[in-house]
Amino acid sequence: MATRGFGFRQRKSSPGGARLSRRNLIMMGAQLAVAGGLAWRMRQLQVIETDHYRLLAEENRINIRLIPPSRGQIFDRNGEPLAVNSQNYRVVMIREQAGDPDAMLTRLGALIEIPPHQRRKILKDLSTNSAFVPVTVAEHLTWRDFAEVNANAPALPGILPEVGLSREYPHGEATAHVIGYVSAVTEKDLERDDADDPVLLIPEFQIGKTGIERAEERRLRGTAGQRQIEVNSVGRVIRELDRTEGIAGDDLHLTVDMGLQLYALDRVKDESAAVVVMDIQNGDLVALASSPNFNPNSFVVGIGHDEWNSLLNNEYRPLSNKWASGMYPPGSTFKMVVALAALEAGVIGPGEGVYCPGRMKLGNRYFHCWRRGGHGHVALRQSLQQSCDVYYYELAKRAGIEAIGNMARRLGLGVDLNLPIPALKSGLIPTKQWKVERHGEDWTVGDSLNSGIGQGFVLATPLQLAVMTARIASGKNIEPRLIRARDGNPVPVPEAPDLGIRTEHLRWVRDGMFSVVNERRGTAYRSRIADKTMAMAGKTGTSQVRNITAAERARGVTRNDQLPWNRRDHALFVAFAPYDAPRYAVSVVVEHGGGGSKAAAPIARDVMMRTLYGPRPPLEAYPPAERGKIKEMREAEPLPEPEAAPPPGERRVRT
């Protein structure tokens, strides 16, 4: 039995033992394979890819954050600050240190004003951001409020007073339409093609929105700096490891003279108007006034609803840059263009007369002169002096719109002027093809007649009118410029080429402009400069903004002062001086001001005298009838001592 039992056990155990042995071998092989794979992977991580994963670990531990650069400052031609960086006293809150944010805001509100809408925004930002991320509670605080928060800081956990930089415009409204303003980056800003700078993503970062601030944004912004900081696993800052300061933006010096700018704005403070003063020798724009205007500092700190609505609802349109983007029918200031076009085309000579009976008939339609009884026989000089419309109807009919348009563009109308102002408009000098494309109608002779007196489809900006005047005065293709120096480096002034207009033609037109201001029958005689060495030549203009019916003409055209303000004519005047050695050109547009001789010419004369003589022109420079009034004004409000007048032709605006 034992042997038999032994044999039974042998038969039972032998197959099982074999199976167990194979299973063990398979398991051991699998374990070895896994161990080998792990060993190989560990070797790969620790030896082969060690540099790659060390870099990833460092990037998780060390963050690089941008430091906003200091924005370039803007000055006038004499170094007067126009846009600067001032200290911005602000307060931020860190939620994890503040405990109950709502209660902490209530305690802080006892020290500084926190409007309800701002409080709601703060609480929303605190709940959205990480607990350790600072959220701005208030900025642009007064020194007194900032000091009070600092004094109570121990009782305000999580409230941190900070000092940063903010844009400030010392002259406020006086430079609003030239400098523009900066404001916070918006989603729309980030969608622009040039928004590839990561500094734009910095919270509360501000960029230029209008004017020079926007046009020169890249140069003014500068280059961001950076700092390396060590953070923990949840992103909380532990310490700063390294810092590289950014490169400040370029400083700009403009061609504008702030003294003259302030005077021009004061001269039109009660009007909806624009004034441009241009240096004929180099194209410098020494005054650019648009009235009324707005305070750009309001946009930096965040303009309120009431102030914004008051700007939007003002019929004088203070947000509109009138000297750059205001497009007006130039009226009779366009007559020099028509005269030069006709002279160059050879369709009229300076002594050839045209009879003006007060109107011209074309088909079954009459085109009227401003003087109902007409001017009789007039030649070129008298046509400018007395602003005869019939004379220019005749010239426009002879020369044609193409010749007039070519001359207008040569003089700077209807073209783009290369200035760093985003709102700049090119005006409109129509062509036959333009009318077909725009209105689906052919050009008519009547269209040419309307264009001949600066009406119809013709539109120009005050800036373009100043350029036109400067080119007529100089015979050169003068280009306007607004930036005098970048980062201390003067911007070169290229030599202006000749216009290619015959010298005698320009001389005849300038002579007619002289008679407008300096001869008794001239439309601007009352606005002359009595000092013959500084004599001014110019041209008045009045452009209609409404149609005058035949019935109204029959009973008498309604005077401007009897019409609602927005239906009155625009008043215009352009001029240059001194006549014998042209140095400055000026253009003035007074919206709905009525006649150019009454509303625009006196402003232009006063601005030109301020440009030529400085703050206090001599009494002898005024017409005799005005000297007593000027003397009384000076005695009542003493002005600075008069500056010594330089010899004719020398620079009168300080450089």
Helix axes 389-399, 335-345, angle to 10 degrees: 40
Measured distance CA(4)–CA(308) in Å, rounded? 113
Residue 274 is encoded by which pair of tokens? 């624009």
φ/ψ bin of 19: left (φ > 0), alpha (ψ from -120 to 50), beta (otherwise): alpha
Query: In the annotation, is 332 catalytic?
Result: yes
Distance of CA 550 to the CA centre of its chain: 43
Q: Which candidate in 272, 332, 515, 527 is catalytic?
A: 332
The whole-angstrom distance between residue 161's C-alpha and the CA centroid of its chain comes to 34
Rg (CA), the chain: 38
Strand partners of residue 88: 164
Check if the beta carbon of residue 575 is closer than 8 Å to that of residue 539.
yes
Among residues 211, 144, 141, 151, the alpha carbon closest in space to that of 176 is found at 211
403, 344 contact by CB (below 8 A): yes
> How many of the other CB atoms lie within 10 Å of CB of 523?
26
Residue for token pair 């001592």: 641
One-letter amino acid identity for 591?
A: E
Whether 505 and 411 have beta carbons less than 8 Å apart is answered as no
**Four-CA torsion 195, 201, 206, 212, nearest 10 degrees:** -10
Tokens for 20?
A: 């167990």
Q: Which of 277, 392, 415 is nearest to 340 (CA)?
A: 392
Cα separation, 516 vs 529, in Å, equals: 12
∠ CA 201-61-65 to the nearest 5 degrees?
Answer: 25
**Contact of 171 with 288, CB cutoff 8 Å:** no
Using CA atoms, how far apart are residues 606 and 529, in angstroms rounded to an integer?
A: 9
CB of 278 closer than 8 Å to CB of 255: no
Distance CA 315, CA 301 (A): 25
Distance CA 605, CA 416 (A): 28
Q: What are φ and ψ of residue 240, in 5° steps?
A: -95, 130
What's CA 570's distance to the chain center, in Å? Answer: 24
Task: Report the distance separating Cα 631 and Cα 625, nearest Å.
Answer: 11
Give the pair of three-digit tokens for residue 286: 């020494």
* Cα distances (angstroms) measured from residue 513 to each of 329, 456, 477, 534: 19, 23, 19, 14
CA distance 529 to 535: 5
Nearest CA among 549, 508, 533, 544 for reference residue 620: 533
Whether residue 471 contacts residue 499, with contact meaning beta carbons closer than 8 Å, is answered with yes
Distances (CA, A) of 233 to 61, 230, 274, 627: 7, 10, 60, 81
Q: End-to-end alpha-carbon separation of the chain, Å?
A: 133
Residues serving a catalytic function are: 332
